[in-house]
Structure 1
Amino acid sequence: MSSLYERLGAADGIRRIVDDVIANHLLNPVVSVRFRHVKDLPHLKEMAFQFFCMGSGGPQSYQGKDMRSAHQGMNISEQEYLAVMDDIVAALHKHGVDDSSCNEVVAILYALKGEVIRV
């Protein structure tokens, strides 16, 4: 059985997924305002890329802040968190990621919920 990293398309596939995730966020009325005001979108994409790679079993290391520190003071609501998860799942489906792998990603994201919502 291949790793989640490999099933997501390894580095190239994950980079394409992250690009679409951010594009989805920018179009999503629930969270777009948060992403339109990001000063360094390429840096955000790189951190998301590293995070997805590391979290899915890839060889990349994540150089960003821990989730609690990264979202501290943002007062993210459950609705926003779910909207972000929906955007991620939509990007995964767009790239042909199978349902089992999508469910693994959702489980990982759900496990981080307490580190992001209202911290």
Structure 2
Amino acid sequence: MNTETKKPSLYERLGGVYAIAAVVDTFIDRIMVAPELNANPLVDEAHHRVPKAGFKYLVTEMVCQVTGGPQRYTGKTMAESHKHLNISASEWVVFAGIFKAVLDEYKVPEAEQAELFAIVGSTRSDIVVERPVSKAG
């Protein structure tokens, strides 16, 4: 008899689609109005080009899929949807800080937060435009 129990998926540990959708709802509301992110005119324009409800739907789909849920993401790849936005490393840090604050607000345990940040971090190279460091002098 196998006494080993299967660990619940991250999706299950996060509480499933309803809990994920609630976090995404708050998170998108915050990033859409973050002055540090909207200082980038390309990001600001993108934030106003699509209805917020549709954006929240796609992000919820994506988070559910990558955490082991039954949903399938139907949007563009991260590279396709971000390559034209010229997102900087400092904007990424602001985005991550907002994400962390929302996860804390919803009392997502640290272990699950670490897994989520590993997933989000894996998309950084598709989102952030690295700029060469200029040397003065």
Percentage of identical aligned residues: 29
Matched, 1:95 2:106: yes
Equivalent residue in structure 2 for 1:13, among 19, 24, 27? 19
Note the aligned Cα RMSD (angstroms): 1.7
Matched residue count? 119
Matched, 1:81 2:92: yes
> C-alpha distance in 1, partners of 2:89/2:23?
23
Q: TM-score, normalised by structure 1?
A: 0.90
Equivalent residue in structure 2 for 1:69, among 80, 105, 110? 80
> C-alpha distance in 1, partners of 2:36/2:79?
21
Deviation for aligned residue 1:28: 2.4
Gaps of at least 5 residues in structure 1 are: none
Deviation for aligned residue 1:3: 1.2
Q: Which residue of 1 aligns with 2:64?
A: 53
> C-alpha distance in 2, partners of 1:12/1:48?
13
Q: Which has the higher contact order (CA 8 A, sep 6+)?
A: 1
8 Å CA contact 1:73–1:118 kept in 2: the answer is: no
8 Å CA contact 1:21–1:91 kept in 2: the answer is: yes
